[in-house]
Chains A and B, each alone.
Chain A
């Protein structure tokens, strides 16, 4: 994999290369994040491998969601929020000055905990909203994207006859798959998922987990989950987060999933996965 140096001069506008959809590596280097004065995470460095699923686990409030949101510059949307450190997408720092944050978010997509299709748009319009608002108008292309992404999200068969019905008229699991299709439509390289199944029933959860394993072949995926069994089912690598006494989250351990769950190196990891604390 080609390593590109981050530009030395802060005035250099960094152009994010959007190549063919080969999955890219996402690397966090010394990432810390604050909400106003409160430091939510400290000095997290880890690699999200291409073509694999990386799970972020840890107890509630330990900063895993905050960290995830730093990976596509969504953390700074909150008023007073701040990030330090760098996040490299195939070697280029998304936090470099001059980087187009809108571009970053197209390349690094996100699916949220609570399915959030746009209620005033139909299923069809929901899928293509990202493309449409970027200027794509050709009907043929939109039709093709809708079918392709809904098939990818394992939703096509269920909704192909009701593409015009409201996005909010689907069941919870279907809505979440719609959100996944919507995220895929803008052709990201990375997919970040923040507890995507926690609002769904077990059957819907199972289907989405299957979907995630399939998508991993073509995308780089990071998933936050508070469900350890899910992490062990779905992911190739796992990162364990924990917050210290000052309530600032840190990365405790990171490694291949099977190793982390069978032979954790840190005592705290072992305590967590054996359920000694929630």
Chain B
């Protein structure tokens, strides 16, 4: 076969193999989602999202308290961790001296590598024991600790991506440094920061270990923020290791909703990042 035709065929085969690899990778995600959906289909309905758990043996019921509990704890965690982390990111990118930045970065990297169960135990010692109760606050604290280094680093990197000329342009206009950082640099980097926050939220939404010793779980609505709170991941764990089929099915359904949430969040994060690209 003349070498040109051979080359074309090799190119086609390689392209096909690459396409196959990409397709397989995507297929795994689809298969996972479908499998989880099928296993839990009995409970993937509106009632699941809105009703409280029914006693064992009774049909129906749901995990409304877990959905709300997860939402509240993830929300609170995002609130406190984002505020602190964005501040840290700004410091790292704009104000820190070389040595300080290196140290803070090291600390952040170590923190992000800590096993989440260790973080849970830490939160237990700090917030559960002194307050005398398991709580959503403690859960939010633990989740926030996981979020903190992630958001701090992505904020720092997003700010560093802002071209230096923009900083100089702002300063040359006679804008004070702090004002330039807040009103010019942060908005320019907001797409990257937002993406980082969303991906961190997706990450902590799926954490179970930190909640084991902090939120504990609850079969009913919590009594305010300072009492044991149900969470989606906790329920999946507890229901999955139980001996009851009915609970297994509910665990699958909860897993499906969780996966859906993470998927949607990732897509939205990508859209936000794409929209920010210069037109």
A residues sitting closer than 8 Å to B (CB atoms) are: 72, 74, 77, 102-107, 109-110, 112, 114, 116, 118-120, 129-130, 133-134, 166, 168-169, 179, 182-183, 186
Contacts and interface: CB of A to CB of B under 8 A. Distances in A.
A166 B188 CA distance: 12
Interface of B: 163, 165-176, 179-180, 183-184, 187-188, 190, 278-279
B173 A129 contact: yes
Given A118-B188, A169-B279, A183-B172, 4 more contacts: A110-B172, A116-B166, A120-B190, A134-B174
Nearest to A77: B171
A129 B187 CA distance: 13
A103 B165 contact: no
14 contacts: A74-B168, A74-B172, A77-B167, A102-B174, A106-B173, A109-B172, A116-B165, A116-B166, A118-B188, A129-B170, A129-B173, A133-B179, A182-B173, A186-B174
Interface of B is mostly: helix
Contacts of B176: 102
Taking each of A116, A183, A186, which has the highest tally of chain B beta carbons within 10 Å of its own beta carbon? A116
A183 B169 CA distance: 9
B172 A102 contact: no
A120 B169 CA distance: 14
Taking each of B171, B172, B175, B190, which has the highest tally of chain A beta carbons within 10 Å of its own beta carbon? B172
A116 B170 CA distance: 10
B174 A105 contact: yes
Nearest to B182: A133
A183 B170 CA distance: 10
B52 to A, nearest CB: 46
B102 to A, nearest CB: 14
A119 B278 contact: yes
B165 A166 contact: no
Contacts of B188: 118-120
Contact of B173 (A119, A130, A166, A169): A130
B171 A74 contact: yes
Contacts of A168: 278-279
A179 B169 contact: yes
Given A118-B184, A166-B279, A169-B279, A72 B172 contact: yes
Contacts of A130: 173-175
B279 A106 contact: no
A186 B168 contact: no
Given A102-B175, A105-B174, A186-B174, A116 B169 contact: yes
A229 B167 CA distance: 31
A105 B184 CA distance: 17
A118 B169 contact: yes
Taking each of A77, A103, A120, which has the highest tally of chain B beta carbons within 10 Å of its own beta carbon? A120
A41 B214 CA distance: 62
Contacts of B170: 118, 129
A114 B165 CA distance: 8
Nearest to B167: A77
A183 B168 contact: no
Contacts of A107: 174
Contacts of A109: 172-174
B171 A116 contact: no
B169 A112 contact: yes
A5 to B, nearest CB: 26
B85 to A, nearest CB: 21
A148 B175 CA distance: 21
Contacts of A120: 187-188, 190
In the complex, the 9 A-B pairs of residues with the closest C-beta atoms, listed nearest first: A106-B174, A130-B173, A110-B172, A105-B174, A116-B165, A116-B169, A120-B187, A102-B176, A133-B175
A72 B173 CA distance: 10
B175 to A, nearest CB: 5
B273 to A, nearest CB: 14
B169 A105 contact: no
A201 B166 CA distance: 22
Contacts of A129: 170, 173, 175, 183-184
Nearest to A183: B173
A56 to B, nearest CB: 17
B275 to A, nearest CB: 12
A77 B168 CA distance: 8
Contacts of A183: 172-173
Contacts of A105: 171-174
Contacts of B171: 74, 77, 105
Contacts of A119: 166, 188, 278
A183 B174 CA distance: 10
A127 to B, nearest CB: 11
Contacts of A186: 173-174
A130 B187 CA distance: 16
Nearest to A188: B174
B168 to A, nearest CB: 7
